[in-house]
A and B are shown apart, each in its own frame.
Chain A
Amino acid sequence: MTTETPVIEVRDLEKVYRLGRNVEVPALQGVSFTIYPGEAVAIMGPSGSGKSTLMNILGCLDKPTRGEYYLDGQRVSDLSDDELAHIRNRKVGFVFQTFNLLPRMSALENVALPLRYAGVLRGARERAREALERVGLGDRLHHRPNELSGGQQQRVAIARAIINNPSIILADEPTGNLDSRTGREIMDLLLTLNREQGTTLIVVTHDPEVAHMMQRILHIRDGRLLREERTGTR
């Protein structure tokens, strides 16, 4: 696995939030790590340690203050707004703690949304239906989010994340709003996708049990990488 190109490589990543004129909040203070294609990695750390900040940068939603980020060997800071939009659309699939589904749209339409921005119009509904079947929601295509349980909503969000066959799934506390059994089912689903499709999976979690389902755990503290832990999981 060592000669492969890393899917993600960050070096000395720093992020400073500016509050007002001269208050600076250092959220990330020099983080470096490498993730290879197909890996399943957990990110753990206390609240406020910078996990979400890191995920946003990895997902090209935010830019680091300093440091380098290479995605599939490409320097992200060199990319234009449109190219970043393209990456968010094709390479990265986001799963949020709060699901973030559009309430006026059916499950099917929510899942098909990234296809629109990919310029796919023909066959979009068919593909969205397939994605929903893959997450076990083939019988809830036309339900609105408020007609679905939390676990079902998160499945819709996962179907939406995988609709464009991304190389990475970024999940920021995907089980945070779910009970432990439903949370487990969601994690099983994400790991199945990771195993069967070879999609790189990065999950932020506070749950050690969830973290130990991954191959590696990155422990973050105060915006720094405290240590890297290899679990026994294959």
Chain B
Amino acid sequence: MLSTLYLAITEALRSLAANKLRSFLTILGIVIGVAAVIALLALGRGAQKIITENIQGLGTNLILVGPGNPQRDPAAQLNIPPLKLADAYALQDPQAAPSLQYVVPLLRRSVRVRYGDKTYTTLVFAVTPEYRIVRNYNVIEGTFLTEEHLLNRASVAVIGPELAKILFGRDHDVVGTTIFIQGYPFRVIGVLEYKGAAGFGGTQDDRVVIPLTTAYARLFPEDRGKVDVIMASAVSPDRIDAAQEEIRQILRVRRRLRPGEEDDFTIFTQQEFLQIFQVITGVLTVFLGGIAAISLLVGGIGIMNIMLVSVTERTREIGLRKALGARKRDILIQFLVEAVTLSLVGGLLGILLGWGIARGVELVAARFDTTLPAVVDLQAILLATLFSAAVGIFFGFYPANRAANLEPVEALRYE
């Protein structure tokens, strides 16, 4: 049985090779369809992986608060007051906000960092020590910021491992050195662990973290009392909704919003990020499924068409084979194997091409400092292979059956 199949396959390959160009054009539809699906799927998976990691890397039970609200009407978007350090303090009140555990004010600015003759432009995050907890951060060397640093407005910095590599050429043995941020000396007290990519746009591992008080006192005195984002964490995952509501009420009062007026700030939870993202992926999947279905249908019709032509062309051959003792099922199998070989070769070429395209996009993205890995998983490959084989069987059956039912004499007489 296996060797019969082997013979059938080699013969099918040979008869397809005899018409190389035609066979190639026939499978082109399947090749392109499968390639498109594989490539998009691979990049989709890659993006999904990155984004999910990112969102989860934000920390557990995380809640973000920022000024502005995209749902307010555009006229009301103007002149929205920034968040204040005092807002963060208000949220720390356990009576008013019992569902909140940690509250971290954050000021984020672009700065120039220098060590020796190396300078680098990156983001500085000016925060309080609880930042480490809500962001779920560890240091691979040294220590994180402490309350003492905050109180003393200490000129200390915790740097990301990538920044350490850029400045020192290594991500360890750097504690105790002095770097310059906007020209002010800071002592490096720790190196953060690797967290990986930050969305589409490079790494979050090249940042500097300093005490918020130091930032107000030395680097950005004009921003004193302002914060860009307030990060908070709920006491437990099931209290996230309650925490969100408490923040809302406190901030509405502090920002003097009238009842009925819309919020002029936005509260985001990790869950919401994930949900939005899942909706996007869901739409994308349906869309890809549609492309796949259409291209496979078109490809299948192409195969059926060419198989019908082939059966007509080879009527005499079929008659001869029957005269030599071929049964109906021998002929049926011969042509089915040919159709499936066509569609499978198309599917496999499509997988290779799609993978190549995804890799290409990955490399191009990397040149633009964007991490977009091509994730071609076994599941996608198996699915593509299976589907193209199914297309071959489905669209090959009618022509093959027609061949099998030819009358031997009439087929032999065919010119």
A contact residues vs B (CB 8 Å cutoff): 56, 59, 61-62, 81-82, 85-86, 88-90, 94, 96, 100, 102, 104, 113-114, 116-119, 121, 160, 164
In the complex the two chains form, is B323's CB within 8 Å of A88's CB?
A: yes
9 more A-B contacts (CB under 8 A) besides A117-B326, A164-B325? A61-B322, A61-B408, A81-B328, A85-B322, A90-B325, A100-B323, A114-B324, A118-B325, A121-B4
Residues from chain A with a CB closer than 8 A to the CB of B322 are: 61, 85, 88
Main secondary structure of the interface of B (DSSP, over half): helix
B residues with a Cβ closer than 8 A to A are 3-4, 7, 14-15, 18, 316-317, 320-328, 330, 407-409, 412
Q: Specify which chain B residues have a CB less than 8 angstroms from the CB of A89 in the assembled complex.
A: 324-325
Docked pose: A138 CA to B234 CA in angstroms: 89
Chain B's nearest CB lies how many Å from the CB of A115? Answer: 9
Q: How many pairs, one residue from A and one from B, have CB atoms within 8 Å of each other in the complex?
A: 60
| Chain A residues whose C-beta falls within 8 Å of the C-beta of B326 in the assembled complex | 85, 117
Determine how close the nearest CB of chain A comes to the CB of B408; give it in whole angstroms.
Answer: 4
**Shortest Cβ gap from A133 to chain B (Å):** 20
List, in ascending order, chain A residues with CB within 8 A of B324's CB: 88-89, 94, 113-114, 117, 160
How far does the Cβ of A117 sit from chain B's closest Cβ, in whole Å?
Answer: 4
CB closest residue in chain B, given A83:
B327
Instruction: Find out whether the CB atom of B321 lies under 8 angstroms from the CB atom of A113.
Output: yes
Query: Given that A61-B409, A102-B320, A104-B14 are contacting pairs, would A117 and B3 also be in contact in the complex, using a CB cutoff of 8 Å?
Result: no
State whether B3 touches A61 (Cβ < 8 A). no
- Contact: A100 with B320, CB < 8 Å? yes
Complex Cα–Cα for A211 and B77 (A) = 108
The 7 closest A-B pairs by CB, nearest first: A89-B325, A117-B325, A85-B327, A62-B409, A61-B408, A114-B324, A61-B409
Q: How far is the CB of A228 from chain B (nearest CB, A)?
A: 26
CA of A114 to CA of B328, assembled, Å: 14
Instruction: Please tell me if the beta carbons of B323 and A59 are within 8 angstroms of each other in the complex.
Output: yes
* A-side contacts of B3, CB under 8 Å: 121
Residue numbers in B under 8 Å from A114 (CB-CB): 324-325
A174 to B: closest C-beta gap in Å: 15
Contacts of A104 in B (CB 8 A): 14-15, 18
A160–B324 Cα distance when bound, in Å, is: 9
Residue numbers in A under 8 Å from B14 (CB-CB)? 104
Cα of A118 to Cα of B7 in the assembled complex, Å: 14
Cα of A56 to Cα of B18 in the assembled complex, Å: 31
Chain A residues with CB under 8 A of B330 = 117
* Bound form: Cα–Cα A59–B328 in Å: 17
Min CB distance, B132 to chain A, in Å?
A: 71
- Complex CA–CA separation, A160 to B18 (angstroms): 23
Closest to A86 in B: B325
Chain A residues with Cβ below 8 Å from B327 are: 81-82, 85-86, 117
Q: Cβ of A61 and Cβ of B317 under 8 Å apart?
A: no
Q: Is the CB–CB distance between A102 and B317 below 8 Å?
A: yes
Residues of A within 8 A of B321 (CB): 113, 117
Most buried by A among B14, B316, B327, B412: B327
A77 smallest CB distance to B (angstroms): 16
* B18 vs chain A, min Cβ distance (A): 6
27 contacts between A and B (CB under 8 A): A56-B409, A61-B412, A62-B407, A62-B408, A81-B328, A85-B325, A85-B326, A86-B325, A88-B323, A88-B408, A89-B324, A89-B325, A94-B323, A94-B324, A96-B412, A100-B316, A100-B320, A100-B412, A114-B324, A114-B325, A116-B4, A116-B7, A117-B324, A117-B326, A121-B4, A160-B324, A164-B325
Considering only CB atoms, which chain B residue lies closest to A94 in the complex? B323
Closest to B316 in A: A100
